């Protein structure tokens, strides 16, 4: 298979993997916050969130993560393994490793929610949801810039981006509490 086909497939599965991760944690938030609703609404919504989560997790997210893991090394092999020794690629692979750790943590949360074990608040899950965003931003900048010096600037930007996300989450929480208290 040629390099461009491998690269296209790798990118497609990265995109579908991230789409699955982003939507999955949103479903965690919705299912968790549904527990505050009265019956029968709570049980109906919980059942539906569990069903959708299971389809998304095993039908899109895990297969995409696995196919990304297959096509990534194939792309690297077609470019030559010497590329793996470059500092920017090492940093990128570290971020990818943390993304798979994030995937595993999501899997644990998924299993808990399937068993009606609610360990996290909706607020915590909103913050947790941004971990994938941060890893995506860091990885894309490394791949596009291919420069470890730019990584320092990128990390400064990433920290600023993370701060802005946290402010947005806090602002949303305050707005939501204010809106709910008026009801």
- pLDDT value, residue 138: 83
Query: pTM of the prediction?
Result: 0.83
On whether 92 is known to bind a ligand per the annotation, the reply is yes
Question: pLDDT of 2-17, one tens digit each?
Answer: 989 999 999 999 999 9
Q: Exposed, middle or buried by CB within 10 Å (0-12, 13-18, 19+), for 144?
A: exposed
**Planar angle of CA 141, 137, 106, nearest 5 degrees:** 140
Number of helical H runs and strand E runs in the chain: 6, 0
Structure token digits, residue 66: 């696995």
Question: pLDDT of 17-49, one tens digit each?
Answer: 999 999 999 999 999 999 999 999 999 999 999
Residues 6 or more apart whose Cβ sits within 8 Å of residue 165: 130, 133, 134
Q: 138: how many CB neighbours lie within 10 A of its CB? A: 23
- Enumerate residue ranges in the chain where pLDDT < 70: 1, 148-152, 154, 183
On whether 182 is known to bind a ligand per the annotation, the reply is no
């Amino acid at each position: 298979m040629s390099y461009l086909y491998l690269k296209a497939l790798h990118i497609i599965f990265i995109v579908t993997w991230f789409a699955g991760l982003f939507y999955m944690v949103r479903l965690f938030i919705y299912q968790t916050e549904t527990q505050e609703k009265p019956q029968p609404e709570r049980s109906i919504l919980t059942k539906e969130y569990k069903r959708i989560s299971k389809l998304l997790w095993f039908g899109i997210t895990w297969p995409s993560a696995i196919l990304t893991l297959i096509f990534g090394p194939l792309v690297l092999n077609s470019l030559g393994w010497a590329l793996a020794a470059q500092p920017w690629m090492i940093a990128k692979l570290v971020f990818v490793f943390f993304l798979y750790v994030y995937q595993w943590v999501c899997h644990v949360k998924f299993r808990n929610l399937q068993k009606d074990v609610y360990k996290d608040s909706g607020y915590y899950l909103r913050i947790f949801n941004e971990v994938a965003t941060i890893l995506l931003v860091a990885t894309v900048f490394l791949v596009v810039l291919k420069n470890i010096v730019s990584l320092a600037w990128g990390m400064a930007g990433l920290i600023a981006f993370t701060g802005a996300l946290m402010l947005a989450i806090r602002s949303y929480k305050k707005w939501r509490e204010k809106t709910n208290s008026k009801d």
